[in-house]
Structure 1
Amino acid sequence: MADSRAPDSTRRSERSRRAIYDAALALVGEVGYGRTTIEGIAARAGVGKQTIYRWWPSKGAVLLEAFLDLVDQVAREAGDGEGGYEIPDTGDLEADLKLVLRATVDELNDPKYEVPARALATAGIIDAELGLEFARKLLEPQLQLYVRRLRAAQEAGEVRQDLDPRIALELLIAPVSHRWLLRTLPLTHAYADTIVEYALRGLAPRPAVRH
């Protein structure tokens, strides 16, 4: 007997969306953001380009959503999908910040993340709307993790009470992002550790310890 059920358009749309995500990420990795096109993504995904334009206004918007989906998938696989990831609070702020900044270094050095993240970061400089979306949907939630951990450190007396967590987190994130964007020097765990030490202890010489 022939199957008389109507095709499930929702399932078909989800398959197409998933194929478009995969195609966008793959193409950016293979040919770079500049040479990636809506037509190329559509051909790779096996869909018409009008399907893409129906859901997204530009290739940057496609790549951003694909990258957000990738980050979300990895978080779910790591067990962070339910309550969301938080920076550990072991009572040792320095150790906790080194742990999370090392993880950031690992992520930025992983081609799976590095290529689309770099493409979005650079494209967002030219396309202001894309840049704002990139910051709002991806960067801001990550920055809030630092804000919450630093506020907990304030409550525990580990840092100054008049500290502005938003400015303080930039002492940690900005140097790593700067080195990553320029690619002039390696991004390593040792560098991440040093950034944390400089941020927490400052640059002024320490008074000599009297015995």
Structure 2
Amino acid sequence: MVKKAAPDSTRRSTRSRRAIYDAALALVGEVGYPRTTIEGIAARAGVGKQTIYRWWSSKAEVLLEAFTDLSTQAAEAAARPGQEEGGQGENGIPDTGDLEADLKFVLRATVDELLDPKFDIPARALAAEGVVDEQVGAEFVTRLLEPQLQLYVRRLRSAQEHGDVRPDVDPRIALELFVSPLAQRWLQRTGPISHAYTDTLVDYALNGLAPRRPSGTPSAA
């Protein structure tokens, strides 16, 4: 008599977790954060409510982890094809030695992510809830937004070490020159977002707004 292999609990857990992620993101996009419940997520994912409570203590934790996972997948999918090992850098943003190209690359990938309904709808729901619910807002910033911003900080510090950014520049403030306008335009729908738009943000941030003097022209006293 052939023995049946024991069920793979790790695979089953991974499958259940993935189903919960998908259900949570779908629900918050359809009915909004306030009407999304643990019971609703469990029913949609085809798991018991206790399965969710075994891994998370609240719907906010479920949604933030699901959204973090979605962002990670998007970042991996956007990785530059054929990039040489080490070109990505330990900071998670391309570090090819060309700061302008690297920033444009990563912001173009961000635009693609923001224009994807799978990302856009739950992101808007969580961002909107974070405005009215201080705890959700703090969790959103701490667990999702700030870690992503720190990737820019590390890339800009690397550029400082190579002499491509002034040493007196505060990277945490500098990154807002291109990240904040994109976030505001997307969230408030004040205009279209596109690769051309983020390329322009990077150009303005790195080159400034003052007229460029011809080569050899002395600066004003």
Question: Does TM, scored on the shorter chain, surpass 0.5?
Answer: yes
5+ unaligned residues in a row in structure 1: which ranges?
A: none
2:124 to 112, 118, 126: 118
Q: Distance in 2 between matches of 1:124 and 1:38?
A: 18
Matched, 1:178 2:187: no
Equivalent residue, structure 2, for 1:23: 23
More divergent stretch after superposition (115-124 vs 162-171)? 115-124
Q: Distance in 2 between matches of 1:86 and 1:194?
A: 22
Q: Distance in 2 between matches of 1:9 and 1:61?
A: 23
More divergent stretch after superposition (147-156 vs 159-168)? 147-156
Equivalent residue, structure 1, for 2:84: none
Secondary structure of the residue aligned to 2:111 is helix
What's the offset of the Cα at 1:46?
Answer: 2.0
What's the offset of the Cα at 1:147?
Answer: 1.3
Q: Check 1:193–1:131 CA distance in 2 against 1; reply closer, same or farther (3 A cut).
A: same
Offset from partner CA, 1:149-174 (integer Å, 9 cap, x none): 21122122222110111110111110
What's the offset of the Cα at 1:99?
Answer: 1.4
5+ unaligned residues in a row in structure 2: which ranges?
A: 81-87
* Identity level (%): 71
Secondary structure of the residue aligned to 1:205 is coil
Q: Check 1:8–1:156 CA distance in 2 against 1; reply closer, same or farther (3 A cut).
A: closer
Instruction: Give matches, 1:1-211, under 5 Å.
Output: 12-75=12-75, 86-207=92-213
Alignment check: 8 A CA contact 1:61 1:130 kept: no
Alignment check: 8 A CA contact 1:60 1:123 kept: no
Alignment check: 8 A CA contact 2:24 2:62 kept: yes
Secondary structure of the residue aligned to 2:175 is helix
Q: Distance in 2 between matches of 1:35 and 1:183?
A: 24
Alignment check: 8 A CA contact 2:25 2:122 kept: yes
Offset from partner CA, 1:64-104 (integer Å, 9 cap, x none): 11122223344556679x98663223333222211111111
Q: Distance in 1 between matches of 2:176 and 2:66?
A: 27
What's the offset of the Cα at 1:135?
Answer: 2.2
Q: Distance in 1 between matches of 2:8 and 2:104?
A: 48
Larger helix share, 1 or 2? 1
Alignment check: 8 A CA contact 2:16 2:47 kept: yes
Q: Distance in 2 between matches of 1:3 and 1:12?
A: 20
CA RMSD of aligned residues (A): 3.0
Q: Distance in 1 between matches of 2:89 and 2:206?
A: 28
Query: TM-score under structure 2 normalisation?
Result: 0.79
